Amino acid sequence: MSKELTLAVLLSPWLDISSQHEASIVVQSLELDSRKVATGSTFVAIKGHALDGRRFIASAIEQGANAVIADACESHPHGELTLVDGVPVVYLDDLTSHLSALAQRLYPLSHNKLIAVTGTNGKTTITQLIAQWLELVEKKAAVMGTTGNGFLAALQVAQNTTGNAIEVQQTLAQLEQQGADFTALEISSHGLVQGRVKALEFEVGAFSNLSRDHLDYHGTMEEYAEAKFSLFSQHLCHHAVINIDDPVGRTWFEHLDSAIAVSLTPSRESRAVWAQQVSYSEAGISLAFNGFYGAGRFTVPLIGEFNASNVLLAMTVLLSLGIDKQQLLETASSLKPVLGRMELFATEGKAKVVVDYAHTPDALEKALQALRVHCQGKLWAIFGCGGDRDTGKRPMMARIGEQLADNIILTDDNPRSESPQAIVQDMLKGVMEPSLVTVEHNRFDALKYALDNSSTDDIILLAGKGHEDYQVMAEQTIHYSDRESAALLLELGL
């Protein structure tokens, strides 16, 4: 999985320590968390946003680190090598920005082709559709993202959409060793800004859409957009596939010379793939397309207009990789809905429940619009907003729910350290008729209430948590799953 490099060879792009006695120490693994250091690990001590890893150098050495690479500072300038209990500590300027390249030297790739997908919504669906489709045409494909890392049949839970630079490279090398020909990665704006994928070489980068999210981190929509665009402007990305139905995507496409546009409406662009005809039913989406790669038609068992966009983006990515179009068309009907993404739970005599990860205003709006097309009765929406996150979206989401659903129930998402009651009060500021809104903080009870008060033709959207099987409270994280709640209340097996 990793190369055996000496400390001198590993660090050679940034400094020359070949004359030092410690230069011949063999680096077998890199570790950012001092608590995970084992005998023979090399500890990487960076000055992070919340913690300064240099404070843990002594404890990493105590746990068996054979060397330490640390962020340089005034008292320890770039290139300095000191000994702490006989263990070398080498200091590098701006170490965080070199982490991806450092990891790439130790965990190199030879044939695992990388596909990057960025955007506010749709990343998980697009990456998983790409991986499913590749498997259907007999390529071995993995994913890395929100629902986990690995091959779809055995995903390993991931803490972040995009892991730290060392984890990302190490995981990609492991997947290659396990036979991956392709890996589709969800690329978050945090991951881009923090250089977590800086040294990766992407065969294709795809953009889904941009709407309000993560403003607690980025500050403004302009900065958020700039972070996303850096995938194409500051990273090695051989092909770009851009959703031009999104206004931000349309602007980006005009600035990217060799990009391929994707649209659900006919396009005059010479490098575009567009839908000529789309029809929606409970069985799924039928789509006829034309453009840069010629014409075709397929049907997929997915729900909603945004999934038509997602599947067209996924297909265009695969066509840009040279995957045979006829094979893609023949296998499209075998694609499966993605866990917790517009996932339908239905049983005779009760309202249908759709579990979706929608936790932004745009995603909630698109999910409700998509379900309205399928709904013969009343449309219900159950959702909340996360604590310790962007408070501005709370009234926006409630307003969207009121406008697009017939009945809304406000509930808890991940309240974290905030008062659930205060979060709901923020949400209620966005509605015109607060007296018509039901508030039930317990998500299971909220769904039970909706099922008890709905008819068989109704659809209930349970939004916000999707695939997640936990809920973050002030004092603890508890086990909770919308999918399990839906299955239990509808007497279905998971």
Angle subtended by helix axes 123-136 and 305-320, to nearest 10: 50
Binding region: 32, 34, 119-125, 160-162, 188, 194, 196, 389, 413-416, 464, 468
In a domain, 203, yes or no: yes
pLDDT at 218: 45
- Nearest C-alpha neighbor of 200 from the set 95, 106, 321, 103: 103
H or E element at residue 477: strand 477-479
Does residue 67 share a domain with residue 148? no
Binding region for meso-2,6-diaminopimelate: 389, 413-416, 464, 468
pLDDT at 476: 94
- Nearest C-alpha neighbor of 494 from the set 480, 484, 479, 482: 484
In a domain, 249, yes or no: yes
Does residue 37 share a domain with residue 118? no
Does residue 113 share a domain with residue 86? no
Does residue 320 share a domain with residue 386? no
In a domain, 221, yes or no: yes
User: Which domain CATH number covers 44?
Assistant: 3.40.1390.10
Does residue 330 share a domain with residue 372? no
User: Which domain CATH number covers 362?
Assistant: 3.90.190.20
pLDDT at 214 over 50: no
pLDDT at 442: 98
pLDDT at 3 over 90: no
| Tokens matching residue 264 | 């659900």
Fill in the amino acid letter for 72: A
Tell me the average pLDDT of the chain. Answer: 93
pLDDT at 337 over 90: no
Question: For the whole model, what pTM was predicted?
Answer: 0.82
Q: How far apart are CA 150 and CA 458, in angstroms?
A: 37
Q: Which domain holds residue 166?
A: 109-334
Does residue 432 share a domain with residue 352? yes
pLDDT at 261 over 90: yes
Give pLDDT tens digits for 278-294.
Answer: 998 877 899 999 999 99
Give pLDDT tens digits for 425-445.
Answer: 999 999 999 999 999 999 999
pLDDT at 193: 78
- Nearest C-alpha neighbor of 46 from the set 71, 10, 68: 71
What's the burial of 156, exposed, middle or buried (CB within 10 Å: 0-12/13-18/19+)?
Answer: exposed
Query: Among the listed ranges 23-27, 161-165, 460-464, which one has the minimum average pLDDT value?
Result: 161-165
Give pLDDT tens digits for 442-464.
Answer: 999 999 999 999 999 999 999 99
pLDDT at 341 over 80: yes
In a domain, 140, yes or no: yes
Tell me how far apart the terminal alpha carbons of the chain are, to the nearest angstrom. 35
Does residue 251 share a domain with residue 196? yes
In a domain, 396, yes or no: yes
Residues pairing with 299 in the sheet: 286
Does residue 351 share a domain with residue 326? no
Does residue 485 share a domain with residue 445? yes
Does residue 310 share a domain with residue 242? yes
DSSP-based three-state secondary structure for 251: helix
pLDDT at 222: 75
Between residues 42 and 218, the one the model is more confident about: 42
What's the rounded mean pLDDT across residues 119-146?
Answer: 94
CB 405 within 8 A of CB 368: yes
Given 280, 308, 334, which residue is the final one in a domain? Answer: 334
pLDDT at 143 over 60: yes
Binding region for ATP: 119-125
Torsion sign across C-alpha atoms 387, 393, 397, 399 = positive
pLDDT at 216 over 60: no
Does residue 275 share a domain with residue 134? yes
Query: Buried b / exposed e across 289-320, counting CB within 10 Å, b at 16+?
Result: bbbbbeebebbbbbbbbbbbbbbbbbbbbbbb
Backbone angles phi, psi at 274, to 5 degrees: -135, 155
Rg (CA), the chain: 24
Backbone angles phi, psi at 244, to 5 degrees: -90, 0
In a domain, 362, yes or no: yes
DSSP string, 385-426: --TTS-TTHHHHHHHHHHHH-SEEEE--S--TTS-HHHHHHH
In a domain, 437, yes or no: yes
pLDDT at 330 over 50: yes
What's the burial of 265, exposed, middle or buried (CB within 10 Å: 0-12/13-18/19+)?
Answer: exposed
pLDDT at 213: 53
Tally of domains within the chain: 3
pLDDT at 320 over 50: yes
pLDDT at 290: 97
In a domain, 75, yes or no: yes
pLDDT at 66 over 80: yes
Does residue 347 share a domain with residue 330? no
User: Residue 125: how many CA atoms within 13 Å on its side-chain side?
Assistant: 32
User: Which domain CATH number covers 286?
Assistant: 3.40.1190.10
pLDDT at 30 over 60: yes
